[in-house]
Amino acid sequence: RKKWNRIVGVLMELEEGCGTEIGRLRQVVDAMAVEMHAGLASEGGSKLKMLLTYIHTLPDGFDLDCCVGFTLFLFLILIGNYGNDIRNADLYSILIDMSEEGVYYSLDLGGTNFRVLRVHLGGQMSMILNKKVERQPIPRELMTGTSEELFDFIALTLKQLVESESSEFEFRLDERMVLGVTFSFPVKQASASSGTLIKWTKGFDIEDMVGKDVAESLQHALINRGLNMRVAALVNDTVGTLALGHYDDEDTVAAVIIGTGTNACYVERIDAIIKCQGLLTNSEEWYLLSPCIVHLIIEYIMGFEKMISGMYLGDIVRRVLLRMSLESDIFGDATARLSVPFALRTPLMVAMHEDETSDLREVGRILKEVFQISDVPLKVRKLVVRACDVITRRAARLAAAGIVGILKKIGRDGSGGIASGRPKSGGESTIKMKRSVVAVEGGLYSNYTMFRDYLHEAVSDILGEEIAPYVVLKESEDGSGIGAALLAASYSSVR
Ligand code: ADP
């Protein structure tokens, strides 16, 4: 009985420590917005890394007429304000290119899976006519080998994709192909198509690559494999997801990834990016007219990523089970096995959480499979499920606060009262809001229903019932890769 009380005590302590009542979440929202301000003010001004992507234009599936109209409008402003700037021509071709038919390739490297994609754009509305996505796991040895080996593997996989379609797309083979690269590690961008690796994350560790230009290394590997392909866009997965989100729905203002890791990006007014003002040369002044996508790395802030993302959730639950084991002997002699870091992978933790059998059979099976613990009484299995629930709920609610934090920063959370339009239902309120779409992608979000439900519920709770209908979270699939192909199409004429 005493032991049982101690285990229940562990759970109660956990619940208390993981409390995310609404007031606390609102504090996280505020802290997030404040840190974002600080991160934009100066380099190193915040623990939150705010990386500029140099992406200033997002695909939106305009038809040709719209493009020309839009371009001419901008063109006039540019001439009027800044004189004849070479970049006007770039801008013109960016928009025209989006409506051209073509086949674009992209690759998506950034976690457990590696993807190569082919996207066929065309038709009156520059629609995605068809797409092909091939996924495969990254061989573990390549994650810690040399950059040459990794990039050669990537180039080879791409080559196989291109060659498998040579009959269908023969016309492309002797032309230079265009590649968009999604590279989901911290990168210091030098332009929309180049940047140096700051550090590896998510189990990758290839020392010779840190500080080197990712696009250049890849370009090298492509040439070595005889691929006539140019890297036209180098982006983070969040930016790819934002690009596809915006292509599908122009109200998309931010993108969030919740997979192995978690991070986000959003569209910022360029004049709010104080730290880059001094860096602008005259020829770049037109950027002042356009927004800039800012990529946030939340890993560094408030332990955020470690409490939210798929890489860690299973392990947090393992630690709780270990603690329960140390407090009593409910798990027999399994303490040593429970002490092995990352022994419980997140998908298995999720399977325990989602076990709907009346006797929690699945929980029993997984505890046996992973930790060789057998015959766990039902009441203890129930505690295990409760532990999964507490950890997941906290993760989802913190992720929700992060998303609302971004919306707050850009005045889309209702607190700033950005004018434009009213909800259909009307009402007496004076708050005027714009519809804001956040594209969300990642294995944790898309596979884990309970996580997603908790997240949605918390976003609504934080925003309140009046504002919540204006904020739409849209699940995105393969957006990071397809979006990179769209951006490659947009930027293919910018050198
Ligand atoms: P990555 O983020 O590695 O590029 P994904 O977006 O596919 O790739 O996310 C993979 C992550 O999603 C895994 O690390 C895991 O934590 C989580 N995940 C995968 N499958 C499931 C599942 N069935 N339930 C919950 N989480 C899952």
ipTM given for this complex: 0.97
CA of 137 to the centre of ligand 1 (A): 12
The residue to mutate among 388, 447, 476, having the most atoms of ligand 1 within 8 angstroms of its beta carbon, is 447
Q: For residue 298, what pLDDT is reported? A: 59
In the numeric block, the tokens 């439900």 are attached to 453
Distances (CA, A) of 85 to 6, 67, 82, 98, 471: 72, 19, 7, 21, 38
Residue 237 has pLDDT above 70, yes or no: yes
CA of 258 to the centre of ligand 1 (A): 8
**Once rounded to an integer, what is the mean pLDDT over residues 383-405?**
97
Residue 297 has pLDDT above 80, yes or no: no
Q: For residue 291, what pLDDT is reported? A: 58
CA of 330 to the centre of ligand 1 (A): 30
Share of the chain above pLDDT 90, in %: 55
Q: What is the pLDDT of residues 20-53, one digit of tens each?
A: 999 999 999 999 999 888 888 887 788 888 888 8
For ligand 1, is residue 316 a contact (CB within 6 Å)?
no
φ, ψ of residue 425 to 5 degrees: the values are -70, -15
**CA separation for the pair 65, 71 (Å, rounded):** 10
Domain residue ranges in the chain: 62-97
Confidence of residue 261 (pLDDT cuts 50, 70, 90): confident
Nearest to 262 by CA among 451, 105, 107, 425: 451
**CA separation for the pair 328, 383 (Å, rounded):** 14
For ligand 1, is residue 447 a contact (CB within 6 Å)?
yes
For ligand 1, is residue 446 a contact (CB within 6 Å)?
no
Q: What is the pLDDT of residues 468-488, one digit of tens each?
A: 999 999 999 888 899 999 999
Confidence of residue 166 (pLDDT cuts 50, 70, 90): low
Residue 424 has pLDDT above 60, yes or no: no
Confidence of residue 85 (pLDDT cuts 50, 70, 90): very low
**CA separation for the pair 322, 316 (Å, rounded):** 10
